[in-house]
Structure 1
Amino acid sequence: MKIFRKAFIPFAILPFKNIVYAQKRDSIPLKVRAFVADKFPQARDFNLEFSQTTPYKFSSNLNGNDLPENKVKDFHQIKANANIYFVKNRKWLLSTSLNYRYTSINTEIPVSGYQEKNDYHYHSEAINASYYSKLFNKIAIYSASVSVDGSEQHFERIRGMLTGVVVLKANLKTKMTLGAAVFIDPSSQIPVLPIFTYEHKFDNGWVADIILPKKILVRKDVFSNGRISFGTEMDNTSFYLYQSEKTYEYRQLEINSGAIYEHNLGRYFIGTLKTGIRATPNARVFEKQESFKDYIFEAKYKPSFYFNIGISYNPFGKPKN
């Protein structure tokens, strides 16, 4: 399940990171610029991460017929992505987003002990353009994205997305936006998705960091160059399957709840550790030309513990002091 699409969340927050280009230099206070230039940026320029879960059981059905209860003995992923800027000025932001994900799944049927291991490769590439203007005397960000994705065998889909976001508030303590995204994709579950972001810095040092429907976190700077966060993030896994000369797509929604620790390592590097409980309420397989609701296989997974370690390189971000 992928209710906010593969390219949506990374692309949607890129303009907000660069909000200082939406108006002339003297129209946004310098203290706001300093606050936006976070040493832990929302969108990482280059990022590499590894994820691992503990074993978990799941129930499933194929073409409406229940299958025996199975167990995922091992699930791990390697993800790499990059956000590269071509144009970055007061009115325009033009960039490309490159993503690769390797997924390894080892399943077991407890009754028979039969095991099966499968490896999947998935990639997506997008061209993103944003234009900064004003609407009702508020900063407005209009964006468009065209993306392709596929496996190690083929390119599979071409998708489009249009977004419009209005900055309702942006000062030293609070940043808030509201808007919507329109998906140009026949397989999408919903054609339009509302966008809401909210960040507020409390007097005690804690910060509310909300990007709906992506995440709800509270965070606080710790030590000299660290940050700890608690809350929930949503993610997804998808890849393509090939069987009987047909192409299928697998999608699952992941809800990760727990703790995140980030540390600015200096020279534009940031290390990240995440752990907690992963819930995967829904996973489906459907023919590529069909939509998510027209599935042939569905699985419901039990919660499991997860661990994630990553490192990012952000040459366009704020370096360690």
Structure 2
Amino acid sequence: MNKLFTVTAILFISTFATAQQTTDSLQQKATQSIKEKFPRARVLNFEYGQSLSREFDSEFFDEKFQEGEIKSQRTFNASANIPIYKTRKWGLTGSVNYQFNEFEFNNIETTDITVFEQNGTVNFHNFSTAVSSTYFSTLFKKPVIYNASLIVDGNDEGLERVKGLVGLSFILKRTARTTMTLGAIVFIDPTSQLPFFPTFSYNHRFKNSKWEVDFILPQRLLLRRMVGENGRFSIGSSFGSTGFYVNVDNPNFAETFEYSQLEIKSGIIYEHRFSDYLIGTFQGGLQNFISNRLTEKGEPTNDFIYKNNQDPTGYFQVGISIDPFTKK
């Protein structure tokens, strides 16, 4: 799953704590809540991240392969979400995303076959665009959101694949301090390591406290509180992914592969609102790598030809979001 694929998935996992039963209010409050929780859902978002040094070992066709050190991994992500059309119950949004990944390797022995690890620096440039349709309605007398997205992606070598997803999310419970939602997402993509998963969210503000718990399955578990008038502090863990295309210059293999990296980041997040439409974010902590696989383009991830195991390491990420349509 690349970044834009993940973003379009989480757009309707969020909670809608103050939404009313009317469709107009549901759409407005849902949109505000999503943007409040997910920077990449805002009109413009820019992020730079870096993970620190760690050791790794790998397997190629189930045989022991290269090992060495990843001195650093740097990422830059720029995304834009532009409303195209909106009615009382239906909305259409266009999204574009650019993702840059840079790996710096060290102490790797040279072999006859090279996947993408090699001593020095290796860069990957990936692009994606999506059109998402969202429909606001009711189900069993409860507010519900339906979503369908069509995604086209590629890299600096050209367009690669067309993907999609469908899903829904509706409110189970809503009180003054607690909101629960339930839903499901299906990825129309055979290469996804998570082709289907249920979604569940739980948001609870503790009585007589500034703290609240924000749980979104399978994306994150956070404890957070406001800091002053314009800041917000969070501590916890989040699940995410990094994916990009790898072009292999070897006549014995396919020309294009997909690298998929699943990870859990644990630590702190601080967000600060500089103005009604400008928000900065810093986060850092420990990064654990769950699954790192290389698969021929379009093939299921279970048919991977290569995988690696990476030690946990530290990371940090800074970002800036611009959203002229959002109020404080």
> What stretches of structure 2 of length at least 5 have no aligned partner?
111-117
CA contact (8 A) 1:41 1:317 kept: no
5 Å-filtered alignment, 1:1-321, equals 2=1, 6-14=4-12, 16=14, 20=19, 23-24=22-23, 40-42=36-38, 43-109=41-107, 115-203=119-207, 204-243=209-248, 244=250, 246-319=255-328
Question: What is the one-letter code of the residue matched to 1:165?
Answer: S
CA contact (8 A) 1:140 1:164 kept: yes
Deviations 1:136-180 (A, max 9, x none): 111111111110111011111111111021211234322221011
In structure 1, C-alpha distance between the alignment counterparts of 2:86 and 2:268, rounded to whole Å: 33
CA contact (8 A) 1:48 1:310 kept: yes
Deviations 1:111-137 (A, max 9, x none): 78x723110011211111111111111
Between stretches 163-172 and 53-62, larger displacement belongs to 163-172
Q: What SS class does the counterpart of residue 293 from structure 1 fall into?
A: helix
Deviations 1:191-234 (A, max 9, x none): 42101122121221111112211111111001221000000111
Report deviation, 1:14: 4.8
Between stretches 82-91 and 42-51, larger displacement belongs to 82-91
Q: What SS class does the counterpart of residue 197 from structure 2 fall into?
A: strand
> What stretches of structure 1 of length at least 5 have no aligned partner?
none
In structure 2, C-alpha distance between the alignment counterparts of 1:215 and 1:136, rounded to whole Å: 27
Question: What is the one-letter code of the residue matched to 1:115?
Answer: N
Report deviation, 1:23: 2.1
Q: How many residues align?
A: 312
Q: What SS class does the counterpart of residue 69 from structure 1 fall into?
A: strand
CA contact (8 A) 1:232 1:257 kept: yes
In structure 2, C-alpha distance between the alignment counterparts of 1:187 and 1:135, rounded to whole Å: 32
CA contact (8 A) 2:227 2:233 kept: yes
* Cα distance change on mapping 1:49 and 1:180 into 2, 3 Å: same
Report deviation, 1:109: 1.9
Between stretches 266-275 and 181-190, larger displacement belongs to 181-190
In structure 1, C-alpha distance between the alignment counterparts of 2:292 and 2:35, rounded to whole Å: 36
Q: What SS class does the counterpart of residue 316 from structure 1 fall into?
A: coil
* Cα distance change on mapping 1:148 and 1:17 into 2, 3 Å: farther
In structure 2, C-alpha distance between the alignment counterparts of 1:266 and 1:8, rounded to whole Å: 27
Report deviation, 1:186: 2.0
RMSD (Å), alpha carbons: 2.7
CA contact (8 A) 2:124 2:244 kept: yes
In structure 2, C-alpha distance between the alignment counterparts of 1:286 and 1:266, rounded to whole Å: 44
CA contact (8 A) 1:230 1:259 kept: yes
- Give the % identical residues: 36
In structure 2, C-alpha distance between the alignment counterparts of 1:80 and 1:139, rounded to whole Å: 32
Structure-2-length-normalised TM-score: 0.86
